[in-house]
Structure 1
Amino acid sequence: MRLVKRRLLKLLLLSVVLGSLCMLWVSRPKMSWNPSYIMGYSWLEYTNEDGGPEKVCNCSAILRGETGALEQAKLLTITKDFKESVQIPDEYYINATQDCSQFKLSRKYLPYPLSQEEEDFPLAYSMLVHHKVQNFERLLRAIYSPQNIYCVHVDKKSDTSFFSAIMGITSCFPNVFMVSKPVSVVYAAWPRVQADLNCMADLYDASTRWKYFINLCGQDFPLKTNLEIVQMLRSLRGGNSMESEQIGEKKWRVTNSYQIVDGQIQATGKVKDPPPFNLPIMSGNAYIVVSRGYIRSVLEDSRIQALIEWAKDTYSPDEFLWATIQRIPGVPGSTWPNSKYDMTDINAIARLVKWWSHEGSQGSLDAAYPECHGNHVRSICVYGAGDLPWLLEQHHLFANKFDTDTDPIAVYCLEKYLRQKALAELHWM
């Protein structure tokens, strides 16, 4: 009888303790969800086993700028066998994305936000591509996070196999989609702007949560982790960041009329009327970092709609339209059109490009940046592995150009560095 009583007493005490624990659990302060509490994340690290032929390089030594490692990387990029070994045909992606779960798992796409801060600050991306599937896929993987949203515009002139591969990749993600109205892009002509406008409209309609818009092309690559990008955008406090300067010697682009003939832009010989509302036309570039309010103005502001119509027969409108809108009073995040507020591409955070004409030897006061360690295409540096130490010291969010056909080691080491840094940031949450 005593034994029974003792057992009943123990059960009673146990029920009281369990009840108290349950009450504590129910009434506990709500904590931010941290995936590291639920599962390990070491499987998201990039290792040599994941890499292709690039894994023979010592990325740590390359990022430290060690001469031997840089020379080895340079030698490999000009070796025929190595160049052939890193080529991935479009058909690989078409086949690999037949099983989306396996594709995302094998490529180690992030399945969850790595921090509450990132989850609460989603971003919207416009990605314009026309060739080089591998470039696009590695860029998407580098910037992918499930709280963000991505609009992909494939040039209507692209090869069928390229289109199918991109369609296969985007179909594997609920937050990545193809633009609803693709256009045939013509260099330096209006369709280049229209492609971004179509993605802007789709992104604006698709979600009300995202805070900032960033547009990219297939040969861009991030220099910062998603958390770093979020923190830098927060620090803008609603402002925008892009090149926007007095137009100067490029004024001919907006004073003469142009048209597309047989897929090429040509002058009509006609002089254009002045811009609407006497808006001061500014010089800039196609790539911007802007708030959701800026995008709303682009889509709805009557002044901007008039400017867009006026700009459709200009030369390279992508290199003045966004910069001009940035200086229109009342546009969210804009700055005053006075020259005191001019911003160069070096000071803006949107995108870093090395132009051949501004390169120079180290220590040269006449040079804006050191010489290119890769090669040049249309006077722009296609980065090599030797450019990485300098690139990672800059404040820009993205850089252009990268090319896995020309120097896959630069992309391999950069993406590996960013993933390791992103997971290291998680340790400190």
Structure 2
Amino acid sequence: MRLLKRRQRPLLLTLIVVLGSLWMLSLLSCSKAGKDPASPLRYRQFEYTDDDGSPEKACNCSAILRGDREALEQAKLLTLTKDFHKSVRIPDEYYINAAQDCRKFKISRKYLTVPLSQEEVDFPLAYSMVVHHKVQNFERLLRVIYTPQNFYCVHVDKKSEASVISAIEAITSCFSNVFMVSQAVSVVYSAWPRVQADLNCMADLYNASTKWKYFINLCGQDFPLKTNLEIIRILRSLQGGNSLESETMPPEKRWRVANAHHIADGQIQPSGKTKGPPPFNLPVLSGNAYIVVNRGYIRSVLEDNRILALIEWAKDTYSPDEFLWATIQRMPGVPGSMWPNSKYDITDTNAIARLVKWEWHEGSQGSPMAVYPECQGNHVRGICVYGAGDLQWMLEQHHLFANKFDTDTDPIAVYCLEKYLRQKALAELY
């Protein structure tokens, strides 16, 4: 300082003060956001790039997400090519072998092995994942929703092929917060075992940790539409409430709970008996299998005597997953529940749990009766299996997850959505 001319000293001091203030402000802004100022550099290893060698990089995801017609046509042509599908498909044996070296597996598959923000650390989630095939679908789903502070229970159908069970067991063994359900069942869809699979995971997750705030159940063909940070911010905005389809049961579905059913030859069949009314004269509501509920709701499912009686009553009904959670959501005293009055009915399009395109609700643009635009993929049992052309519309919706995706039919849809979510999650750090 002595060597500087007297006139230069005030200028230098001012510069030091300004730079110091800017540095402090940057630290404060990072602190307020709950983020590490050095985090962008720390997380570069988790970026998805074309250098990863994925065959899907032949498509232009940015253009696809903008709805660019030429990019969508190119993606469509790729999905019709047998050689492309063959190059994209990952066999079960790959996961069995790759997961022998967990560290290498997690690095090569770019799992997020560190939390991205303190805000996410403070709001852990619990996931139930019910799977019976398509290991590649499951692993892509796990990878995109995985964070080290969340908890994941995986139920694999006892009837699944040995390679499916072995591959998923190998994958889950690499993570301390991902575990196989303690008691697996043979799932029969539209029958009670489908509910029992989720119930078993609910119990395991509830006992695994007292920290998680919300429960979300998934199947192997779901995929998120939001980053983990976006999901928890949406859940915070619920202020303890739940979000799931729950509405007055239409007359054409009432036979499901009026007549008893049983499982024979691996399928649900009517028993010819009429059921009595539900316990406590509970109004039975209509809904679906997928829910977003708080921890207190799960505690009620496991411990509330009214709900335990309802569960016993529901075990011989048809498709109990499509009324049980919806009915519990309208029971007084259940945390996050709503009154059973029809004014509180919530449809699947209004709930945030799951975005599903039913074939009979689709329609062309401008159609007054259409609920959503036409499926750009294909239909399986009346449900749209999304194609790349659905992505732009899907990302405009408020739902947390969407169903169905299939890497066997349109791997580009999964690839572009996964790449978009990872880029967005990392961009939230800046």
User: When the two structures are superposed, what TM-score results if normalisation uses the length of structure 1?
Assistant: 0.92
AA partner of residue 295 (structure 1): I
The residue that corresponds to 2:81 in the other structure is 79
Alpha carbons 1:129, 1:136 under 8 Å: kept = yes
Give the alignment partner of residue 52 of structure 1, picking from 51, 54, 59.
Answer: 54
Alpha carbons 2:128, 2:155 under 8 Å: kept = yes
Shift of 1:38: 9.0
Runs of 4+ in 1 over 6 A off after TM superposition: none
Alpha carbons 2:40, 2:429 under 8 Å: kept = no
The residue that corresponds to 1:399 in the other structure is 402
Are 1:109 and 2:111 an aligned pair?
Answer: yes
The residue that corresponds to 2:151 in the other structure is 149
The residue that corresponds to 1:301 in the other structure is 304
Shift of 1:142: 0.5
- Following the alignment from structure 1 to structure 2, what is the Cα–Cα distance between the partners of residues 379 and 86? 26
- Following the alignment from structure 1 to structure 2, what is the Cα–Cα distance between the partners of residues 253 and 38? 53
- Following the alignment from structure 1 to structure 2, what is the Cα–Cα distance between the partners of residues 173 and 345? 33
Alpha carbons 2:124, 2:151 under 8 Å: kept = yes
AA partner of residue 275 (structure 2): K
The residue that corresponds to 1:167 in the other structure is 169
- Following the alignment from structure 1 to structure 2, what is the Cα–Cα distance between the partners of residues 38 and 239? 34
The residue that corresponds to 1:259 in the other structure is 262
- Following the alignment from structure 2 to structure 1, what is the Cα–Cα distance between the partners of residues 199 and 378? 32
- Following the alignment from structure 1 to structure 2, what is the Cα–Cα distance between the partners of residues 317 and 327? 16
Alpha carbons 2:39, 2:429 under 8 Å: kept = no
The residue that corresponds to 2:16 in the other structure is none
Number of residue-to-residue matches in the alignment: 400
Are 1:340 and 2:343 an aligned pair?
Answer: yes
Are 1:214 and 2:228 an aligned pair?
Answer: no
Question: Which SS does the other structure have where 2:148 is aligned?
Answer: coil
The residue that corresponds to 2:414 in the other structure is 411
Gaps of 5+ in 1: 1-27
Question: Which SS does the other structure have where 1:71 is aligned?
Answer: helix
Shift of 1:40: 2.6
Alpha carbons 1:122, 1:147 under 8 Å: kept = yes
Question: Which SS does the other structure have where 2:51 is aligned?
Answer: coil
Alpha carbons 1:35, 1:114 under 8 Å: kept = no
1:91-102 alignment runs, 5 A limit: 91-102=93-104
Are 1:185 and 2:193 an aligned pair?
Answer: no
Deviations 1:164-223 (A, max 9, x none): 000000000000000000000001000000000000000000000000000000000000
Are 1:363 and 2:377 an aligned pair?
Answer: no
Question: Which SS does the other structure have where 2:128 is aligned?
Answer: strand
CA RMSD of aligned residues (A): 1.4
Give the alignment partner of residue 225 of structure 2, picking from 210, 223, 232.
Answer: 223
- Following the alignment from structure 2 to structure 1, what is the Cα–Cα distance between the partners of residues 358 and 269? 25
- Following the alignment from structure 1 to structure 2, what is the Cα–Cα distance between the partners of residues 35 and 324? 46
- Following the alignment from structure 1 to structure 2, what is the Cα–Cα distance between the partners of residues 41 and 270? 60
Give the alignment partner of residue 278 of structure 1, picking from 254, 278, 281.
Answer: 281
Shift of 1:39: 4.8
User: When the two structures are superposed, what TM-score results if normalisation uses the length of structure 2?
Assistant: 0.91
The residue that corresponds to 1:34 in the other structure is 36
Alpha carbons 1:229, 1:397 under 8 Å: kept = yes
Give the alignment partner of residue 349 of structure 1, picking from 349, 352, 360.
Answer: 352
- Following the alignment from structure 2 to structure 1, what is the Cα–Cα distance between the partners of residues 144 and 102? 18
- Following the alignment from structure 1 to structure 2, what is the Cα–Cα distance between the partners of residues 51 and 231? 34
Question: Which SS does the other structure have where 1:49 is aligned?
Answer: helix
- Following the alignment from structure 1 to structure 2, what is the Cα–Cα distance between the partners of residues 136 and 227? 21
Shift of 1:36: 3.2
Shift of 1:51: 4.5
Are 1:245 and 2:247 an aligned pair?
Answer: yes
Shift of 1:52: 2.0
Are 1:380 and 2:346 an aligned pair?
Answer: no
